[in-house]
Structure 1
Amino acid sequence: MLAKWWWRFKTEKDGLWRRVVWAIHHNSRGWKDIPTKVSIPGPWKSITSIRSILLQAGLDLEKATSAELGNGKNICFWLDCWAGNEPFYVMFPELFRAEKHKGCLVQDRLVTNGPNLIFSWAWLTPELGDIEADQLNQVVGLICGSSGLNMSSGMDRWQWTLDGGGSFSVASIKKTLSSVNRVRPGKAFEWNNWVPKKVGIVAWRAEMERLPTRCALAARSIPVNDRTCIMCGSYDESSEHLLVSCQFAQMVWQNIALWCSIPPIIAFDLKDMLTLHEVCTVSGKKKKVLHAVILVAIWSIWKSRNEAVFQQKSPNMTKTLDEIKAMAYLWVKNRSRSMTLTWEDWSKFKI
């Protein structure tokens, strides 16, 4: 997703956001097609730093974009790659230093006269030196000798070379990276599109111990007066304790086991709970429903915990179970498009 902003910075020359970024990060003493000032923290610094990370996987964002010349109104003459393997400011640095308007567009330097191209230059000095003159001849030769280079009245087109369609897509980067020999986690978190993302995110963060439990806050040097679990008052509150081994959570899981007609749930950690649907002897569709119920239960327990902490509400087992059944029913029924699913069948877990 960060790489997408490289594509947008290249293709949206008139965008207000691009002009703001250019005004903040451009340095006239060190020209770059995508500028960044490392001394300025923020999202743009993270966006530009993604290139070095992708280079380790053999993916160069600067070479993944190419321009097809049209009217020259959306391509920078010096800063964009359009008539060679690299931008002209990289290939001909001495000549670029002699340029008066370094951010000029192709239409500012090229004019069509029938089949011929007429160059319009603007230099800082009346005459060029020998090195600059030699590089100028190379630029002219490169442009005139480029096969397929034809200036027209049509719009300039930008091509994303990693995708056959020519337009940027996150999937194309993902596909490219998947071919690189990278270390992958043994078990990736399993998402379920039958529940909202906010529900899955709670379980995803809990598995990584990223929920702001009292133990997690204390580990981040945030003052916590009492680390004891507010739901049971017996042990320190971590994600694993709160959602698995806490007395309140265990009562929730055993009631869910009775409702779903599965063996009593015995889980030693949160991963056991998140993979419970895989080991239960239920049908394919029922597996996904059970997984959705587990995610909703984790979300509801966390919600009950927050109500106890911030609203001083006493944990209510009946309310939590009713909420799990009702919310899971509404989400599964509407998101799975199982219009024949009735509340009566759901209450008996007849899927």
Structure 2
Amino acid sequence: MKWRWRLLNSEEVGLWKEVLVAKYGVHILNSAVWSTRLNSHLTSLWWKDICDLENCVESKNWVAEMFSRSIGNGASTCFWSDLWIGDSLLYVKFPRLFSLSLQKEAKVRELVSVEGGKYNWNFIWRRRLFIWEEENVAQLVTFLANVRLSMAEDKWRWVVDAEGSFSVKSAYDVFFKEIVIGTNLPFFEANIFSNIWESPAPSKVVAFSWQLLHDRVPTKENLRLRGVLPRNSDGFCVGCGVICESTFHLFLHCKVALVVWYENFKWLGVVIVIPANLFVLFDCLSEAAKSKKSRKGFRLVWHSVIWSIWRARNNHIFKNVASDPLEIVEAAKVLSWRWSADRMHISPCLFYEWVWDPNICFNN
């Protein structure tokens, strides 16, 4: 979308634009709708992706609705296929008239004449119109009654921005609403999902936690469900070797995970019973904190424990290196310490005074 905007924006100049115009035609600078132009099979994958933007949303041309024209003299605005009046394209609003028109590529200026301050619209049809079609023409002329041209040049606008300027963020927000069907999560779970992104843990760890809460991490059970592992494979957890390695077992109920969590609770000074799922565990740790600073720290520890368990599991499978539960505990402590030192705007010693003895902290 940013490339489409740069092509339409007359202030953008450069050799790259001249090359694209020479190869694909001048219409790429003047029109937001390219669906009527057939592209050669020799076009690059990059160019095909730019062209395919119009087909991203089912049943409508999403690109055409995002770009509108601020009408000036009307010399460079397509009457039918540019969004320059109203909230939809004229060929969409009056499809019958568009099919009959012999001026499908005409500009606004080419279809209007001004006599004594009165605007007359000059349409050419491929046959005589039926009475009901003439009524459509009357509706179209009424719709155009307030159009006034000026001496200024026509300009493109990004419709979702008040100032008409394009941004990738605004395009993402609009496109997300168009193609993503949101899940109706319970308020409790939705609140947890919003809070995990506020953690000072590294972004890859937070993203992993988000996948984990959606049960989308590649545990043996998930790999078997997706056909990556054979159905008849044992899929046992590497920690206990008895129960199938599901998400909740690996991170909550395995004997290794239980030791890791309880040792970290002891370190934090929190008394807790392992809950049924990771959502409740995250919430319990957040509620156990006595201040905003410590809440951030507890959540950081939650992420570090999750990440340490996953790394220990992968080391066991791929490197044949088994980790003692207490080694995982220490790894989680070290990780949370490093993350707090790197990513939080406070001294790590001040941050950890609620979990470590000040003398030990000083010596370290």
Instruction: State TM-score, norm by structure 1.
Output: 0.68
- State whether residues 329 and 343 of structure 1, in contact with CA within 8 Å, keep that contact through their aligned partners in structure 2: no
- State whether residues 215 and 238 of structure 1, in contact with CA within 8 Å, keep that contact through their aligned partners in structure 2: yes
Measure how far apart 1:183 and its partner are: 5.0
- State whether residues 78 and 107 of structure 2, in contact with CA within 8 Å, keep that contact through their aligned partners in structure 1: yes
Measure how far apart 1:94 and its partner are: 4.0
Percent identity, aligned pairs only, is 23
Q: In 1, Cα distance between the equivalents of 2:262 and 2:137?
A: 79
Measure how far apart 1:158 and its partner are: 2.2
Partner of 2:98: 96
Change (3 A) 1:286 1:119: same
Partner of 1:239: 247
| Structure 2 counterpart SS, 1:158 | strand
Partner of 1:218: 224
Partner of 1:332: 340
- Count of matched residue pairs: 313
- State whether residues 73 and 156 of structure 1, in contact with CA within 8 Å, keep that contact through their aligned partners in structure 2: no
Q: Which amino acid aligns with 1:185?
A: P
2:306 is the alignment partner of 1:307: no
In the TM superposition, 1:152-167 aligns within 5 A as 152-158=151-157, 160=159, 164=162
Change (3 A) 1:104 1:228: farther
**Which of 8, 26, 47 is equivalent to 2:56?**
47
Partner of 1:253: 261
Q: Which runs of 5+ in 2 are unaligned?
A: 10-16, 38-51
Instruction: State TM-score, norm by structure 2.
Output: 0.66
- State whether residues 257 and 263 of structure 1, in contact with CA within 8 Å, keep that contact through their aligned partners in structure 2: yes
Measure how far apart 1:236 and its partner are: 0.9
Measure how far apart 1:227 and its partner are: 1.1
Q: In 2, Cα distance between the equivalents of 1:156 and 1:103?
A: 18
Change (3 A) 1:231 1:113: farther
Measure how far apart 1:294 and its partner are: 0.3
| Structure 1 counterpart SS, 2:285 | helix
Measure how far apart 1:260 and its partner are: 1.5
Q: Which amino acid aligns with 2:205?
A: V
Q: In 2, Cα distance between the equivalents of 1:10 and 1:25?
A: 13
Change (3 A) 1:277 1:50: farther
Q: In 1, Cα distance between the equivalents of 2:249 and 2:115?
A: 77
- State whether residues 71 and 152 of structure 1, in contact with CA within 8 Å, keep that contact through their aligned partners in structure 2: yes
Q: Which runs of 5+ in 1 are unaligned?
A: 29-42, 53-59
Partner of 1:57: none
Measure how far apart 1:109 and its partner are: 5.2
Measure how far apart 1:213 and its partner are: 0.9
Q: Which moved more, 1:292-301 or 1:274-283?
A: 274-283
Measure how far apart 1:233 and its partner are: 1.0
Measure how far apart 1:301 and its partner are: 0.9
Change (3 A) 1:293 1:111: farther
Q: In 2, Cα distance between the equivalents of 1:104 and 1:315?
A: 73
Q: In 2, Cα distance between the equivalents of 1:172 and 1:108?
A: 37
Partner of 2:292: 284
Change (3 A) 1:239 1:91: closer
Change (3 A) 1:46 1:97: closer
Partner of 1:194: 200
Q: In 2, Cα distance between the equivalents of 1:341 and 1:104?
A: 71
Measure how far apart 1:214 and its partner are: 1.0
Change (3 A) 1:193 1:279: closer
Q: In 2, Cα distance between the equivalents of 1:308 and 1:46?
A: 46
Change (3 A) 1:94 1:173: closer
Partner of 2:149: 150
Partner of 2:45: none
Q: In 1, Cα distance between the equivalents of 2:257 and 2:115?
A: 79
- State whether residues 244 and 270 of structure 1, in contact with CA within 8 Å, keep that contact through their aligned partners in structure 2: yes
| Structure 1 counterpart SS, 2:56 | helix
Q: Which moved more, 1:238-247 or 1:271-280?
A: 271-280
Q: In 2, Cα distance between the equivalents of 1:325 and 1:234?
A: 28
RMSD between superposed Cα atoms in Å: 4.8
Q: In 2, Cα distance between the equivalents of 1:328 and 1:250?
A: 19
